[in-house]
Amino acid sequence: MNNALVIGQYVPGNSLIHRLDPRTKITIIFFFVFIVFFANNFWSYAILTVFALASLFTSRVPIRFILKGLMPVWFLIIFTFILHMIVTKEGTPVFNIFTFTVYSGGILQGFAISMRFFLLILVTSLLTLTTTPIEITDAIEELLHPLKKVRFPVHELALMMSISLRFIPTLLQETEKISKAQASRGVDFRTGPIKERVQAVVPLLVPLFVSAFKRAEELAMAMEARGYQGGQGRTKLRELKIGKRDIFVYCLFIGVVIGLLFIRN
């Protein structure tokens, strides 16, 4: 896995961001996603960018690592920029490409929208970079707790999430292992006509499915053997607790939100 995708990968650390209660992180990011769409002038984008970059630096996740991980998303950001640049017809014409006339408003709009995109991706990947999957599912279970009143299977949902998250690396490893074994038997996944490459996936998928089902069965058996019977009366080893630093961060965020609402036109 030399070029693993960063989104969804946890980087261990002990920064302020790492130690925040996962509920705090999820709530703030949830609202941040809304807030980003309120920004409509330079200063409102600036304040959000400062907030995002400040969180990034506090997290002490290596910048180079994040930028490299955002590689596949760069394409989308640039694509959005170009699209907005050529279809927005506001402001004064600046120059022509092919048959399109680019207006000054288009360039601004392009910047604004791709900035939104960038901020959204940066902040959400910061969540997974600094929070273990277990913490995230715990937090989601807690946050959705009120839905239990309407018989929503919160615990089961959280369990499904943590199981699938737990097995992502396992399946990736398994995929790599099997693809290496098949490559050793002469399968070529990388070159050749499309039809052959599609066929090359079969020797990979069949063993993968077989082992995934086997694993699921074993897991179910192991859970039952240890007396698992759903969420009733289940206690937690690590209780989530809102501490001083969470309140501090909440206040900071509310400050940013109020500031933003004042600054925007």
Partner 1 sequence: MDITFKNVSFVYQQHSPFAHRALDKLDLHIPSGSFVAVVGHTGSGKSTLIQHLNGLVRPTEGDVWIGDFHLNAEHKPKNMKELRSKVGVVFQYPEHQLFEETVEKDIRFGPKNFGVGDREIQRRVKEVLPSVGLTEDFLDRSPFDLSGGQMRRVAIAGVLATKPDVLVLDEPTAGLDPRGQKEMMEMFYAAHQEQKLTTILVTHSMEDAATYADHVIILNKGTKYMEGKPEAVFVQKEALQQVQLDVPEVVRFLDLFEKKFGMSIPYRRQSVKDIAKAIEKVMTGGSGHE
Q: List contacts with partner 1 (CB under 8 A).
A: 1-2, 4, 11, 61-62, 64-65, 68, 174, 177-178, 180-188, 202-203, 206-207, 210-211
First to last CA, the chain: 47
Query: Smallest gap, in angstroms, from Cβ of residue 72 to partner 1?
Result: 16
Residues 6+ apart with CB under 8 A from 1: 172, 173, 176
Least distance from C-beta 214 to partner 1, angstroms? Answer: 10
Question: How far is the C-alpha of 251 from the C-alpha of 24, rounded, in Å?
Answer: 11
CB of 18 to partner 1, least distance (A): 13
Distance CA 50, CA 72 (A): 24
Nearer to partner 1, 41 or 173 (CB): 173
Instruction: Tell me whether residue 65 or residue 79 sits nearer to partner 1 (CB atom).
Output: 65
Residue number, 203 or 259, with CB nearest to partner 1: 203
To partner 1, the closest distance from the beta carbon of 32 in angstroms equals 25
Closest alpha carbon to 159 in 214, 64, 235, 230: 230
**37-66 b/e (C-beta count within 10 Å ≥ 16 → b):** eebeeeebbebbeebbeebbebbebeeeeb
Instruction: Give min distance, CB of 186 to partner 1, in A.
Output: 3
CA distances 196 to 184, 204, 208, 209, Å, are 17, 13, 19, 21
Token reading at 26: 């999820």
Q: State the Cα–Cα distance between residues 19 and 24, nearest whole angstrom.
A: 10
* CA–CA separation, 62 and 136 (whole Å): 22
Query: Considering beta carbons, is residue 186 or 227 the nearer one to partner 1?
Result: 186
Residue closer to partner 1 by CB (options 78, 221) is 221
CB of 9 to partner 1, least distance (A): 9
Q: How far is the CB of 161 from partner 1 (least distance, A)?
A: 24
For residue 200, give the DSSP letter.
Answer: T
CA distance 255 to 262: 11
CB-nearer residue toward partner 1: 207 or 231 = 207
Residue whose CB is less far from partner 1, 181 or 222: 181
